[in-house]
Structure 1
Amino acid sequence: MTANSKYTADAGRIEAALSDRTIALVGLMGAGKSTVGRRLADTLGRKFFDSDNEIERAAGLSIADIFTLHGEAEFRRGERRVLERLLGDEPHVLATGGGAYLDPDTRDLLREKAVTIWLNADLETLWRRVSRRSHRPLLKADNPKGVLSRLLDERRPIYEQADLVVTSKEGPHKATVDSILKALDEWSKARHG
């Protein structure tokens, strides 16, 4: 672990337990997957990938444009292809899109190749974070906070299937990274003693 982290975990034990598995952060938009993922990757000395950024790069379009021009179903197919490619790479930290884990095939792929961590945030935290930006295609509605609330309720049972659950709260992202390290350390102890 680097000096960036307050939590002192056994990095060797965590890496041994992870073996060749990626750490995949799942959860709703605004949970902090990208920001926390970058810090976690830095702390563990791993590469970081944001699947939405990789999708945009592969398509040559923004996520919003893909939704507008091709629809959500086509976006999800492209998302799965990008995740398959990324999960074939060396182990890293991966921030997935908010809907990626909902697809059963994508979820199976993540279960096979990664340790999944649901960054769980309450509605008010999510709303504060996403309302600062207007690029979220699923929130282009008359009542975006209501849509966000509905998505959280609908997706919660699926997100709960992740290997680990960590709460993402307002405040320093380092605190969430520390919570992830603690959860991974406990997970590694359970797997390798």
Structure 2
Amino acid sequence: MSEKDQITDATAESCAPGKLKKTIVLVGMMGAGKTAVGRALAARLDVPFLDSDHEIEFAANMSIPEIFARDGEPFFREKEYQVISRLLQEECGVLSTGGGAFLAERNRRVMSESGVSICLQADLDVLWKRVKGRDTRPLLRSADPYQTLSDLYHARVPIYAQADLTVSSDGQVSIDNMVSRVLEALKARPDVLEFD
């Protein structure tokens, strides 16, 4: 670990705003910043960070695109539900989920029962800037990736609106400021985070 990382870790620990009582589940579109914000939020709260897609890849010993290609999306969604349910029963922390995880009613239910779902909301242009040209997004492997993203966005936004809390990003805000926005939103949920 570099000296800069040690300073960052020490700062994050000394600034922990309170005690986490339930897992914070970050949901939203691909490119919304769930992983980057999730890692920084977990560091600030001094709790574990988990990524459901990473956990699925680890368990399957293959990448998400490989799982989609070999077994299809329904198989992946079943594994996703199993992993999210398991992670929500373990130590409280910050859990980043894949863009499609929140679409399933059973995932939404288990997230709200065992944790709190927070949608990171960004507009379509911000998302496109973050995901275009990336080969790691199986759903964007289409003849017109922008149109595919646009279709997904418009279909999913009403579902993401069902999250327990929503935090907006205009694409100009730093990760640290996004973490501060999430913590501000959590002040409405003392059952999740007990502020000092």
TM-score computed with the length of structure 2 as normaliser: 0.87
Distance, in Å, in 1 between the alignment partners of 2:158 and 2:148 is 17
Which position in structure 2 is the counterpart of 1:63?
A: 64
Distance, in Å, in 1 between the alignment partners of 2:134 and 2:105 is 29
The letter of the residue matching 2:143 is: D
Determine if the alignment matches structure 1 residue 175 to structure 2 residue 180. Answer: no
- State the identity %: 46
Which position in structure 2 is the counterpart of 1:163?
A: 164
Q: SS of the counterpart of 1:188? A: coil
The letter of the residue matching 1:91 is: C
Distance, in Å, in 1 between the alignment partners of 2:108 and 2:58 is 22
Offset, 1:192: 8.3
Offset, 1:132: 4.3
Offset, 1:40: 0.1
Indicate how the Cα distance of structure 1 residues 119 and 113 shifts in structure 2: closer, same or farther if over 3 A, else same: same
Offset, 1:4: 4.9
For 1:31-180, list aligned pairs within 5 A.
Answer: 31-171=32-172, 172-180=174-182
Distance, in Å, in 2 between the alignment partners of 1:112 and 1:53 is 23
Distance, in Å, in 2 between the alignment partners of 1:149 and 1:54 is 28
> CA deviation digits over 1:70-118, x for unaligned, max 9?
1100000011111111111011100011000111111111111111100
Distance, in Å, in 1 between the alignment partners of 2:58 and 2:194 is 38
Which position in structure 2 is the counterpart of 1:187?
A: 189
8 Å CA contact 1:169, 1:176 repeated in 2 = no
The letter of the residue matching 2:160 is: Y
Distance, in Å, in 2 between the alignment partners of 1:91 and 1:39 is 15
TM-score computed with the length of structure 1 as normaliser: 0.88
Determine if the alignment matches structure 1 residue 11 to structure 2 residue 17. Answer: yes
Q: SS of the counterpart of 2:35? A: helix
Distance, in Å, in 1 between the alignment partners of 2:175 and 2:194 is 28
Unaligned runs of 5+ in 1: none
Unaligned runs of 5+ in 2: 1-9
Q: SS of the counterpart of 1:107? A: helix
Indicate the RMSD between aligned Cα atoms, in angstroms: 2.2
Offset, 1:53: 0.5
Distance, in Å, in 2 between the alignment partners of 1:187 and 1:152 is 27
Offset, 1:131: 1.0
Distance, in Å, in 2 between the alignment partners of 1:113 and 1:101 is 14
